[in-house]
Amino acid sequence: MSGLHRRLTDEDSKVSLEVNPIYVGQVPPGEIPRYRIPDGPLPADTAAAIIRDQLMFDGNARLNMATFCTTWMEPQARALFSDCLDRNIVDRDQYPQTAELENRCVNILDNLWNGPGGRGLGCSTGGSSEAALLGALALKFQWRNRRRAAGLPTDRPNLVMGTNVHTTWHKFCRYWDVELREVPINPKTLAIDPPGVVAQCDENTIGAIAVLGSTQLGMYDPVAEISAALDRFQANTGIDVPMHVDAAVGGLIAPFTEPDRVWDFRLDRVQSINTSGHKFGLVYPGVGWIVWSHPERVPEDLIFQTNLLGGEMKSFTLNFSRSGAPVIAQYYNFLRLGFDGYRAVQRACLDVAQGLAERITTNPFLEVLSGGTDVPVVTVRVPPDFTDFTAAQVADRLRLHGWQIPAYYLPKAMDDVCVLRFVVRNGFTQETTEMLVNDLRDATAFLERGAAARHTHTLAEINF
């Protein structure tokens, strides 16, 4: 199970590290245990070399189209990042300038998201997951405070979201005991519909989540339309349902590529927005951001005051210590690229994604579902009437060429559809598209030949 590691039995953990004999003379005699701390030290260069040898088996990040996360930064950014790794973001007394750069980033984001001037409040986080959890906690506490003040019960909160949300929202509901109310995605628009959101809301709804760039399909939920539907719902019922926009993917794309799209703090109902600095913010992991449009949207009882590190500090976070390097690298990107630079980078990704989608339409064994119109994500499926091979088999064949492409089933309402997803990130060019399209064509042709042969021959006769 990824991320949760089991302690091996004493017998199984007796394995030693395999050390290249070329390091002769650099390692002490005897074995170096793999799962126990070694008895003594190793020279620094040898320890680093042994680890590098093992890391070689990790995938090539530039061929990884599965991840949304940044896998390349300019050498200057990388150098700055490594110079700043030792700064602890929570230690504002020791690193006031790091705190100031975080402050500038929050201001830049609030401005990009059209916050009502001088009112926004926000912070960096470890990623969008932490940011989303903070946003949801603020919704829950506000709702509870309102209900308590009115003498109403507070034991059955619910949160409304599409089936297209990221797992982090399911986590919130389970960990914080909130009922999860799901709105199925519309197979035509590949996003949720406003009436579906309204249908799930009642007086116990702490908020509604809209996604700006879904993880599964890369499509934007119609934020402004959902907000308008909730305005009408409020006019009819008196129930005010605030919105949070999970812009993990699109929060640093839409402001540059579609500045006229209204999805942000221009809508008063949108009270908070999160994004991942380490996705289209173009920073190495891990940094996320959350901004609330008004300070009163973060209930006071969520904010902690500590003086453990010297001066008095206020914070609203789930973890405490974290490196300031990604925050500094985020500020570097804002300063380095400016509005025009970000627009050029994101526009190029969209162009490549749309070009990729167009090229894939010439492959008769694949059908494009989402083609990089919103964020640079392309999803394709094997046509439903075609049963000779599956999307997962295509992904397997692409692995042979080094491509890491996930194949997965879509959420409810489309859960019989298995897709391949290609995330186009900075650095992915028309030339790489060409390579990918050729490899895709070879993969599907190979699988088709195998299927055709199976139809007419026994397996033993098939000669690939």
Ligand X SMILES: Cc1ncc(COP(=O)(O)O)c(C=O)c1O
Tell me which residues touch ligand X (CB under 6 A).
68, 127-129, 132, 166, 168, 211, 215, 246, 248-249, 276, 288
User: Minimum distance between the CB of residue 386 and ligand X, rounded to whole angstroms?
Assistant: 29
Cα distance between residue 419 and residue 265, in whole Å: 33
Q: Is 456 helix (H, G, I), strand (E, B) or coil?
A: helix
Whether 443 contacts 363, CB under 8 Å: no
Whether 143 contacts 133, CB under 8 Å: no
Cα distance between residue 159 and residue 165, in whole Å: 12
User: Minimum distance between the CB of residue 279 and ligand X, rounded to whole angstroms?
Assistant: 6
Inter-CA distances, 173 with 273, 283, 453, Å? 18, 29, 50
Instruction: Compare residues 129 and 158 and give the one whose CB is closer to ligand X.
Output: 129
User: Minimum distance between the CB of residue 287 and ligand X, rounded to whole angstroms?
Assistant: 8
State the maximum Cα–Cα separation within the chain, in Å, rounded to a whole number: 80
User: Minimum distance between the CB of residue 180 and ligand X, rounded to whole angstroms?
Assistant: 15
Instruction: Compare residues 229 and 273 and give the one whose CB is closer to ligand X.
Output: 273
User: Minimum distance between the CB of residue 38 and ligand X, rounded to whole angstroms?
Assistant: 34
User: 31, 24, 73, 72: which is closest to 49 by C-alpha?
Assistant: 24
Determine how many CB atoms are found less than 10 A away from the CB of residue 103: 16
Instruction: Compare residues 132 and 282 and give the one whose CB is closer to ligand X.
Output: 132
Cα distance between residue 232 and residue 150, in whole Å: 23
Angular region, 408: left φ>0, alpha ψ -120 to 50, beta rest: beta
Instruction: Compare residues 249 and 267 and give the one whose CB is closer to ligand X.
Output: 249
Whether 374 contacts 250, CB under 8 Å: yes
What is the number of the residue whose Cβ is closest to ligand X?
Answer: 127
Cα distance between residue 95 and residue 190, in whole Å: 45
Instruction: Compare residues 276 and 330 and give the one whose CB is closer to ligand X.
Output: 276
User: Minimum distance between the CB of residue 323 and ligand X, rounded to whole angstroms?
Assistant: 15
> Torsion over CA of 22, 27, 32 and 38, rounded to 10 degrees?
-150
Instruction: Compare residues 127 and 157 and give the one whose CB is closer to ligand X.
Output: 127
User: Minimum distance between the CB of residue 459 and ligand X, rounded to whole angstroms?
Assistant: 40
Instruction: Compare residues 130 and 389 and give the one whose CB is closer to ligand X.
Output: 130
